């Protein structure tokens, strides 16, 4: 998880407002505690805070690549699961890479295919790319909206960030809630209307959508939508296909330059994911997969079985961990530890 922020303003000189950009990205430090960076030109400013997973040395952001006299600058939050395939294709087209991060591959994919690059991406993402020659900002969000991205127009300025608090750190975005925002809070909360940003004039880039901002204005388009089709496969074919897709998804998400683990509850979902991950570890690593589970202090004393939950997770997590041979650890949490984060909850949400 990382954080991105920035803005474009045709009437100001943003090189004089570095402190504003740094304040915006500072609000996102919990999303990216490992590193932070900013890039500023007269009309555009991008910022990034980073949680390092892949390529610690070569994946710093904002990242800049040149082609001829043009420069492309990216700030990106997410993970691509088809980085190696995209990289091979782009290398065949003449691109050369300085590191092995997915950030660099994503940036060159945009340089090669423009806005159509999103059609080739397998992953979760929210990113912004400034095209210096065209003086345009391109933003995109993954198909299911795993990674957040908010934006607003304020006069000649277009301001964006991973979270609402990044926008509110900009002096042009006061924390004003209008009638629509109040309806979101009192009628729908904790849910939210897709695309609505609670505060006056703030919008959310919807899942499966892209946005281009330039001197002609803001242009939004949808690049993906979920489609329903009749299911024609028999049971055996369906089971094989679902198994293959799940196995492929798990293996692709194990790519990292930092330790990898799974959270194991003993239920069907986490056990299946852990089983595929453990199998990949046995094939590719000399060390067993690490698994973690969470339990509450004295849960064995106070737990009462019911039809939905006939027994505690502990029995099943231990059984699955033993069967798969994982290096397992159960983390016990007491009541005080459980309640402690609630004191900071409002500041994390940065919304009423």
108: pLDDT confidence band, cut at 50, 70 and 90? Answer: very high
Fold designation for 235-338: Rossmann fold (3.40.50)
Q: What's the mean per-residue pLDDT of the chain?
A: 93
The three-point CA angle 152-346-296 to 5° equals 130
Catalytic residue among 2, 49, 117, 210: 2
- 49 assigned to active site: no
Number of other CB atoms surrounding residue 88 within 10 Å: 10
pLDDT of amino acid 153: 96
Closest C-alpha to 348, from 31, 115, 97, 20: 31
- Residue pLDDT, tens place only, 166-211: 999 999 999 999 998 899 888 887 778 889 999 999 999 999 999 9
Q: Where are the domains of the chain?
A: 3-222, 235-338
pLDDT at 5 over 90: yes
pLDDT of amino acid 54: 87
- Residue pLDDT, tens place only, 270-322: 999 999 999 999 988 778 999 999 998 888 888 888 888 888 899 899 999 99
Residues 6+ apart with CB under 8 A from 240: none
The DSSP line for 195-211 is TB-SSTTEEEPPTTEEE
Q: Is 120 helix (H, G, I), strand (E, B) or coil?
A: helix
Residues 6+ apart with CB under 8 A from 312: 295, 299, 300, 303
User: For 116, what's the count of Cα atoms within 13 Å in the CB-facing half-sphere?
Assistant: 2
104-133-209-204 Cα dihedral, nearest 10 degrees? 100
* 183 CB burial (10 A radius; 0-12, 13-18, 19+): middle
Residues 6+ apart with CB under 8 A from 105: 80, 83, 86, 87, 90, 97
**161 beta partners:** 5, 150
How long a stretch of residues is the chain?
352
Closest C-alpha to 262, from 289, 295, 291: 291
pLDDT at 245 over 90: yes
Q: What is the pTM of this model?
A: 0.93
Fold designation for 3-222: 3.60.20
């Amino acid at each position: 998880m990382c954080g991105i922020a920035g803005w474009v303003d045709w009437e100001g000189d943003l090189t004089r407002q570095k402190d504003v950009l740094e304040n915006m990205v500072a609000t996102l430090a919990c999303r990216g505690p490992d590193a932070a960076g900013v890039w500023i030109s007269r009309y555009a400013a991008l910022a990034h805070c980073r949680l390092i997973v892949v390529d610690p040395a070569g994946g710093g952001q904002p990242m800049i690549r040149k082609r001829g006299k043009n420069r492309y600058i990216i700030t990106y939050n997410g993970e691509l699961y088809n980085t190696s395939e995209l990289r091979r294709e782009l290398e065949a087209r003449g691109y050369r890479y300085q590191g092995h991060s997915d950030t660099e591959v994503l940036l060159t994919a945009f340089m090669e295919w423009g806005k159509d690059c999103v059609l080739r991406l397998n992953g979760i993402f929210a990113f912004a790319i400034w095209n210096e020659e065209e003086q345009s900002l391109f933003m995109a969000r993954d198909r299911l909206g795993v990674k957040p991205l908010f934006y607003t127009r304020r006069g000649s300025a277009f301001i964006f960030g991973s979270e609402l608090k990044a926008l509110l750190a900009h002096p042009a975005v006061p924390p004003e809630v209008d009638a629509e925002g109040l309806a979101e809070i009192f009628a729908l909360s904790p849910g939210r209307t897709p695309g609505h940003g609670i505060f006056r004039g703030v919008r959310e880039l919807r899942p499966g959508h892209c946005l281009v901002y330039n001197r002609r204005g803001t242009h939004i388009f949808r690049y993906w939508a979920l489609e329903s089709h009749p299911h024609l496969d028999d049971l055996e074919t369906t089971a094989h296909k679902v198994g293959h897709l799940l196995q492929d998804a798990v293996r692709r998400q194990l790519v990292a330059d930092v330790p990898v683990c799974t959270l194991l509850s003993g239920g069907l979902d986490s056990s299946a994911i852990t089983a595929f991950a453990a199998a990949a570890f046995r094939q590719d690593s000399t060390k067993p997969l690490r698994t973690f589970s969470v339990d509450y202090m004295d849960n064995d004393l106070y737990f009462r079985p019911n039809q939905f939950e006939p027994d505690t997770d502990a029995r099943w997590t231990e059984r699955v961990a033993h069967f798969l041979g994982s290096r397992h650890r159960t983390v016990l949490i007491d009541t005080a530890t459980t309640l402690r984060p609630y004191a900071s909850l409002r500041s994390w949400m940065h919304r009423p």
